[in-house]
Amino acid sequence: MKRWIGFALHLAMIVVLTSFGSYTIMKKGDFTVPDSLKVENGSEIFAPLDSIASLDVDEVTPPFLGKAYNGFKEALAFKESQGRYHVVNTLGYLGKYQFGSSTLNLMGIYNMDTFLDSPELQEKAFATNIARNKWILRRDIKRFTGKRIGGIEVTESGILAAAHLAGAGNVKKYLRSYGKEDVTDAYGSSISYYMKKFSGYDISNIEQKKNAKV
């Protein structure tokens, strides 16, 4: 009886398998992707892990947090580092706002490891740098705000964003040459680009301060 049951089960299995038609067991490497499923262009974009600044984040929509100071600083941070505090790029610029060590030294920050490990210190450094650049550029802000240079309306926030990128001295040259002395950083961002991208924010709550320190 057991033999007959085993034989019957074996026969039933053969019938089930053959009912699905013939099949072939393929070894690794035998499979060919049908043309209809092939992707002609690469679908992945790779960016250097050590340099968020080299990523063209303009292709990504940053969070919109309004046109006041908080919206301004977060939009700028997204452009600089995608808002990440512990980023160090290939040129050695640090943190959420990608500060250079020389700029941090001017504001009284000398320990770069401490700076990277402290989001609170990075936020204070950003506000301090805005206050410092407001003082340095106070006459240019008053003189050029509302005018157009190269088709771009000059605003206080645009001027200060550009100063964050290229330094207050270079922004003075840009404004006083009416756009002729534009400069670009190592990743392709220019003063004129920052003037346009970060225009129209209200950052009046940050007061200008001579030799501002954290």
Q: Cα–Cα distance between 165 and 108 in angstroms, integer?
A: 20
Residue 23 placed within a domain: yes
pLDDT at 39: 41
For β-strands 152-153 and 148-149, DSSP reports them as antiparallel
pLDDT at position 146 over 80:
yes
Residue 190 placed within a domain: yes
pLDDT in tens, 159-171: 999 999 999 999 9
Q: Work out the average pLDDT over 127-140.
A: 98
Query: Helix 156-166 vs helix 69-81: angle between axes, to the nearest 10 degrees?
Result: 30
pLDDT band at 3 (very low <50, low <70, confident <90, very high): low
Ranges 30-34, 42-46, 80-84, 165-169: which has the least confidence = 42-46
pLDDT in tens, 171-208: 999 999 999 999 998 889 999 999 999 999 999 999 99
Residue type, 32: T
pLDDT at position 82 over 70:
yes
Give the CATH number of the domain where residue 165 resides.
1.10.530
pLDDT at 179: 96
Q: Cα–Cα distance between 189 and 30 in angstroms, integer?
A: 49
pLDDT in tens, 10-24: 555 554 444 444 434
Q: Work out the average pLDDT over 45-62.
A: 43
pLDDT at position 69 over 80:
yes
Does one domain contain both 24 and 64? no
Residue 59 placed within a domain: yes
Residue 46 placed within a domain: no
pLDDT at position 1 over 80:
no
- Per the DSSP assignment, residues forming a β-bridge with 88 are 94
- What does pLDDT average to over the chain? 81
pLDDT at 64: 72
Does one domain contain both 30 and 107? no
Does one domain contain both 15 and 73? no
Provide the residue range defining the domain that includes 105: 52-197
pLDDT at 169: 97
Does one domain contain both 76 and 135? yes
Q: Work out the average pLDDT over 118-125.
A: 98
Both structure tokens of 44: 């992945």
Does one domain contain both 143 and 70? yes
Residue 80 placed within a domain: yes
Residue 203 placed within a domain: no
Residue 106 placed within a domain: yes
pLDDT above 90 covers a percentage of the chain that reads: 68
Both structure tokens of 65: 């947090």
Does one domain contain both 20 and 65? no
Number of structural domains in the chain: 2
Does one domain contain both 65 and 13? no
Q: Cα–Cα distance between 60 and 80 in angstroms, integer?
A: 13
Does one domain contain both 10 and 91? no
pLDDT at 61: 55
Residue 108 placed within a domain: yes
Burial of residue 123 (number of CB atoms within 10 Å: 0-12, 13-18, 19+): middle
Q: Cα–Cα distance between 112 and 101 in angstroms, integer?
A: 7
pLDDT at 51: 39
Does one domain contain both 130 and 153? yes
Nearest Cα residue to 141 out of 107, 169, 172: 172
Q: Work out the average pLDDT over 59-76.
A: 82
DSSP state of 149: E
Does one domain contain both 85 and 173? yes
Does one domain contain both 95 and 169? yes
The three state secondary structure string of 158-172 is: HHHHHHHHHCHHHHH
Does one domain contain both 29 and 91? no
